[in-house]
Amino acid sequence: MNLDYMARRLLGRPTCVVAGGAKLYRSARIRNASGRDHHIRVGSRSMILGELLTFAHGGQIQIGEWCYVGEGTRIWSAKRITIGDRVLIAHNVNIFDNLTHPVDAGARHQQFHRIVTSGHPKEIDLGERAIDISSDAWIGANAIILRGVTVGMGGIVGAGAVVTRNVPDYTIVAGNPAHPIRELTPAERDEM
C-alpha cells in the first residue's frame, strides 16, 4: 500500500504525492487547500514530521530526496517553495513564501472571516515571492525563512535566525536579521 493512498484514506481528502521510501510520520500535517495532490511533492527517502500547507489560491511545495522536516516545522506556500536534496530542516522552523495575511486591516479581517466561514479564499494577494532552498542546506531549530529568499548550496542557517536575504553557497548565517558568520572550508563542504 503506498503512502499517498494511506494519507488520503486517513484524511479523506487530497493531500500530496509521496515518492517511494518517503515517510509521513504521525506528527506530520498535510494541509493542501488547493485540493491538488501534485501541489505538494515529497521526494524519495524523505522524512516529514512537520506541517506542509498550500493556500487555496495557490502554492506549491517540492521537497527533494533524503530530506528531513522536523516536528513543529511549518512550511506554508502561496507561490512556490522548492527544497533540494539532502536538506535538513530542524524542529520548529517556519518557512513562508508569503505574508500569510493582507497588510490592510480591512482586507485582513475579510480574509479571516472567509477562512472561518467558508475556508481559505481562492483569490487573494499575499505578496507571494518564491523560496528556494538548495541541496545540502541545513536549517537550524526555530529559524524563520521569509518570502523571496534563496538558501544556497550547502548553506547553513543558525538556530533562531530570521532570514530575510539570500544565503550564499556554503555560508553560515545567524542572527536577526540573519547575516553571514563565515564560509565553510573546503573540507567542510564534502559535496555529495
Catalytic residue among 39, 57, 101, 109: 101
Three-state SS string over the chain comes to: CCHHHHHHHHHCCCCCEECCCCEECCCCEEEECCCCHHHEEECCCCEECCEEEEECCECCEEECCCCEECCCCEEEECCCEEECCCCEECCCCEEECCCCCCCCHHHHHHHHHHHHHHCCCCCCCCCCCCEEECCCCEECCCCEECCCCEECCCCEECCCCEECCCECCCEEEECCCCEEEEECCHHHHCCC
Instruction: Indicate if 101 belongs to the active site.
Output: yes
Which residues does the annotation mark as catalytic? 101
